[in-house]
Amino acid sequence: MKTHTSETQATITPKKALEVLKEGNARFVNNLRINRNLLQQANETRDGQWPFATIVSCIDSRTSAELIFDQGLGDIFSVRIAGNVINTDIVGSLEFACKLAGSKLIVVLGHTACGAVKGACDHVEMGSLTELLSKIQPAVYEESETIDRKLRNSKNSSFVENVASLNVRRSVRSIVNRSVILEQLIESGEAAIIGAKHDLASGQVEFFEDTLVSDKSTIASVVRQNAQLVASPKARAPKGSEPAPT
Share of the chain above pLDDT 70, in %: 91
Claim: this prediction has a pTM higher than 0.85: yes
User: Given 3.40.50.280, 3.40.1050.10, 3.40.50.300, 2.40.50.140, which CATH number is that of 6-233?
Assistant: 3.40.1050.10
Annotated domain spans of the chain: 6-233
Least confident range from 2-6, 24-28, 112-116, 138-142: namely 2-6
What pLDDT, on the 0 to 100 scale, is given for residue 227? 67
3-state SS assignment for residue 233: helix
Cα distances (Å, whole numbers) of residue 54 to 14, 57, 115, 202, 220: 11, 10, 23, 22, 23
Please count the CA atoms within 13 angstroms of the CA of 219 that sit on its side-chain side. 20
3-state SS assignment for residue 155: coil
- Per residue in 24-62, pLDDT tens? 999 999 999 888 877 887 887 787 788 999 999 999 999
What pLDDT, on the 0 to 100 scale, is given for residue 245? 38
- Per residue in 141-177, pLDDT tens? 999 999 999 999 999 999 999 999 999 999 999 999 9
